[in-house]
Amino acid sequence: MSQPFTAIATLIAKPGQQDLLEQSLRALVAPSRAEDGCSQYDLHRDLTDPQVFYVIEHWASEEILQAHNASAHFLHFQATAGQTIEHFQLKRLGAIA
């Protein structure tokens, strides 16, 4: 099993879709925080560009993140919000200090 890590997801909404994307992202927060192995799941919006969102997550392992990605609430997010996303990137970070 892999080690704990922090993930930062960057999502950029398509023009005019930022409110819909925000609603969908907000709906992910509570069920994601309740998942075993998730110790942080925080949603942020860029203060200078309201189309850009960041989700800062901390997972106990890569396997647990993969289970999150297969969860009903995440699959629902993909099915309903996928058309609102212009760009998505996920960075995995390992703590060094």
Q: Are 59 and 5 in contact (CB under 8 A)?
A: yes
Q: Which long-range contacts (CB under 8 A, 24 or more apart) does 72-77 make?
A: 73/27, 73/28, 73/31, 73/32, 74/28, 74/32, 77/24, 77/25, 77/27, 77/28
pLDDT tens digits, one per residue of 42-80: 999 999 999 999 999 999 999 999 999 999 999 999 999
Q: Structurally, how many domains does the chain consist of?
A: 1
* CATH code where residue 17 lies: 3.30.70.100
**Which residue range is the domain that position 71 belongs to?**
5-93
pLDDT of 71 reads 97
Mean pLDDT of all residues belonging to the chain: 96
- Residue 1, pLDDT above cutoff 80: no
Q: How far is Cα 53 from Cα 44, in angstroms, rounded to an integer?
A: 6
pLDDT of 2 reads 83
Q: How far is Cα 79 from Cα 56, in angstroms, rounded to an integer?
A: 21
